[in-house]
Structure 1
Amino acid sequence: MAMGKNKTGIMAAITAAAEASGAPKDGKTDRAHRSLPKGTIGSVRAGLGGIQEIDTKLILAWGPKDRLDVELTAVNGANTSSSIAELASSIKEAGQQVPVLLRPSKERDGYFEVIYGQRRILACRYLEIPVKALIRTLGDTDALMAKGLENAGRAELSFYERARFAQAILDQNYARSDVCQALAISKNSLSQLERVNRLIPAVVGEAIGAAPSAGRPKWMSLATAFEKGQISEQDALRALADCAPELASDERLDVVIREMSKRGARERSFVVRSPVPGVNVKSSKSALSVSIKRGGDNERFAIWLDKSLDQIIRDSFERFQSENPEG
């Protein structure tokens, strides 16, 4: 399905209920809108096809997660993030300018599932006020496309959040073509997002955060570093643990990038080989060293090598001289 046709279909689905109302103009009726599932209680009335005010306690999470710093649960508010608190402050001052999109829950009568607008819902919950919402009956595929289109149109997701969102969609058994349509991306772009998800440990990505200012190059570079073993999960987490708590996610990503570059430079400056288990030979421009792990199966060999090493080196030096005469 072409993206333009798909978007047209989504927009038609979003506005269908309002156009089909046929309810009294005063909006006073006890019957739920005919487009809603049977049993939906009267918080959605005929004639109220436009924006409605909905109690945030009646809203449930739905679909693939698209944000790292937002998790809609039954109880949010005590540990509200700074970004949600900032949005709440804006809504308190200027009002909620953009409605969220909900659909009636098929599992819990009288409840709604959020298709998009979780941050606005959490901000309103924080303010203890109802959220302004559009309520439409959308199937899973149309709801997914609406969620993706809203994110794409508002350009709110960072590159890494898009990668996580794409993976979350795939994890719910949607086709790759559905992901491409939801995020308005090509198959090649999806492959890049999948590569980032596959190579960068999720725990590292979550510790870094959304990094809204960081684009594809930084994340792809980090993915390649993990693939080549230039940095490990432990290396990255250790570097992040030393960061100040107030450091922004873009700065945390830069910390890991610097650690990656530092370790890559060290690896390029010397070579370590292991001719036999437990013995490492480290070669660099400035030195050559041999180390052996003591204990266990290596202990007897370590003791013998300690006693014999001087003679081994002398014998080796004599051999070197005989094989490389002066001149």
Structure 2
Amino acid sequence: MGKQNLDRPDLSYIERAFFALRLEMRSFPREVICAAMATDLPNISRFITVARTIPEDVVAAIGPAPKAGRPRWMDLAERIQAKGRATIDRFIGNEAFRVMSTDERFAAVLAAVSSKPTAMRKAKPKEWLDGEGRAVTRIERTDKRFVLTIDEELEQELGITS
């Protein structure tokens, strides 16, 4: 029956990966799994590694994603291993996620674990002008700093005097 299922043309990479994992969990030797899946040991190892790394509930939420293919599923597995699944859990419960197609869900999850936090760009400095239009203070902000500069010659009361 497993061989018949594997011969179906519409099995996706992740479906094949979980099939290999289930065979291994039932204590079938890798050689038997290779024969059942008509592939070699390195491919079986990749299938099983991906299936062990990506939680089954995440795969169930994404679906088969037939357009994703082996490289992208392997990439997702590596990113989940590196980052964990906290970001993914936020997506899975979202109604907008559930109405996407399976390939769109895969792309959304991969993008979520691939994105890096965006650093705050250095904002353009702002200046406070006095009544005569002279820049008395200058404010500069970045993601890690806030710098306030006071022109002591123009505003001696705000500056630090010795």
- With normalisation by structure 2, the TM-score equals 0.68
Structure 1 equivalent of residue 85 of structure 2? 233
Check whether the contact 1:159–1:215 (CA below 8 A) recurs between aligned residues: yes
Structure 2 equivalent of residue 215 of structure 1? 69
- 1:234-264 deviation line (CA, Å, top 9, x unaligned): 31121132234332211111110111122xx
Deviation of residue 191 (structure 1)? 1.1
Q: 5+ residue gaps in structure 1?
A: 1-114, 116-146, 271-285, 290-327
State the secondary structure of the residue aligned to 1:174. Answer: coil
Aligned match for 1:187, one of 41, 62, 74: 41
State the secondary structure of the residue aligned to 1:288. Answer: coil
RMSD of Structure 2 on Structure 1 (CA): 2.1
Within-5 A mapping of 1:147-186: 147-148=2-3, 150-186=4-40
Aligned match for 1:255, one of 108, 123, 135: 108
Equivalent AA in structure 2 for residue 186 of structure 1: D
State the secondary structure of the residue aligned to 2:31. Answer: helix
- 1:152-189 deviation line (CA, Å, top 9, x unaligned): 43322110000110011111111111111111111111
Structure 2 equivalent of residue 107 of structure 1? none
State the secondary structure of the residue aligned to 2:28. Answer: coil
**Considering only CA atoms, is the larger Rg found in Structure 1 or Structure 2?**
1
Structure 1 equivalent of residue 144 of structure 2? 288
Same amino acid, percent of matched pairs = 31
State the aligned residue count: 123
Structure 2 equivalent of residue 266 of structure 1? 117
Check whether the contact 2:11–2:66 (CA below 8 A) recurs between aligned residues: yes
- 1:121-149 deviation line (CA, Å, top 9, x unaligned): xxxxxxxxxxxxxxxxxxxxxxxxxx32x
CA distance in 1, matches of 2:10, 2:58: 21
Q: 5+ residue gaps in structure 2?
A: 121-141, 146-162
- With normalisation by structure 1, the TM-score equals 0.35
Deviation of residue 288 (structure 1)? 3.2
User: Which structure would you say has the larger RCO, counting Cα contacts within 8 Å and 6 or more residues apart?
Assistant: 2
